[in-house]
Amino acid sequence: MARLSQVDLNEKALSKDAISQTFSWPIRVYYEDTDSGGVVYHANYLNFMERARTEWLRALGFEQPMLKTELGIIFVVHSMNITFKSPAFFNDMLEIKSQRIKLGFGSMEFLQTIIRNQQVLLEATVKLACVDTINFKPVGIPTVVKNKLLNNE
């Protein structure tokens, strides 16, 4: 997993972007996840990371349908930067680690890593935007959600 340098940590502290605890979610690679070469098809890693972020929200007490119906918001992927380091194969047990590294007014950023037996297979920085469910326009993260994010560190 990529390490944040002390300079990075200081910059984040100065900008009041909290470094949160890492959330981990296990995923097994199924045959349907692989391509004709026998390795995980590259787009399926996006699904694995999405599942981990969904489970992270669930662990915080927020089901995605509840965010939509009760708070009128959803989180959408704004941008993503991925480095593929090594392939995963059928039947591998993977660990998806998600660490929130930034929390803004209407967005948050994650460092996500996919690991097999302590070997990093993929690193990604994922920025999520909070949007309203009517117009899909950016909005602030609701206070109840933001408070839970900040108090869970």
Task: Catalogue the active-site residues.
Answer: 35
Question: Backbone phi, then psi, for 23, in 5-degree steps?
Answer: -100, 135
> Residue written as tokens 């935007």?
129
Distance CA 12, CA 26 (A): 29
Task: Measure the CA angle with vertex 13, ends 8 and 16; round to 5°.
Answer: 125
**DSSP 8-state symbol, 72:** -
Strand order in the sheet with 73-84: 22-28, 93-103, 107-116, 119-132, 73-84
Closest CA to 144 of 60, 78, 76: 60
* 79, 102 Cβ separation under 8 angstroms: no
